[in-house]
Amino acid sequence: MRSDILAYIKGLKLKNFSTSDELPFSSGTELYLKNPKRIYVDVEQVEITAFIPLLNSPDVDQSVHTVKVYFAIDAKQLPADYAQVVSLIRLAKDSITVPHGLGKDAKSTTDYVNDMLVTMIEFTFTKLI
């Protein structure tokens, strides 16, 4: 799903932002802080849990796939299209098909690191297995 989200973001052709194929962290350093206005997509994390626990037969399980997208900008000079960029990236969830899907979600959060505004968009895809 990382590759799907990365392809979607690259297809947006954002004028103030670029997209990197690299992962957002290198040797513990956040690359998105070193390279403002560059969008990074992290590796997919998968968690498998019981969706419907059953007594006398195998449980019905679900897998939750999570992919996080990071980028940073100068907090003192927000690009005019910042809100639009966040909204467009969040729409990536609609472009991904989840077989036996239960749900798709995209949440965005922000945090300040020194004078940088860090935006993290977390995509969650849940499916029955």
Give the model's pLDDT for residue 91: 95
Per-residue pLDDT of 87-118, as tens digits, reads 999 999 998 887 777 799 999 999 999 999 99
Question: In whole angstroms, how far apart are CA 36 and each of 10, 45, 107, 116?
Answer: 17, 25, 21, 8
Q: What is the CATH number of the domain that holds 94?
A: 3.30.2000.10
> Is the distance from CB of 84 to CB of 18 less than 8 angstroms?
no
Please name the helix (run of DSSP H) or strand (run of DSSP E) that holds residue 33, with its range, or none. helix 31-34
Half-sphere exposure at residue 93, Cβ-oriented, CA atoms within 13 angstroms: 23
Per-residue pLDDT of 54-97, as tens digits, reads 777 788 888 999 999 999 999 999 999 999 999 999 999 998 88
Range of the domain at 41: 2-128
Domains in the chain, number: 1
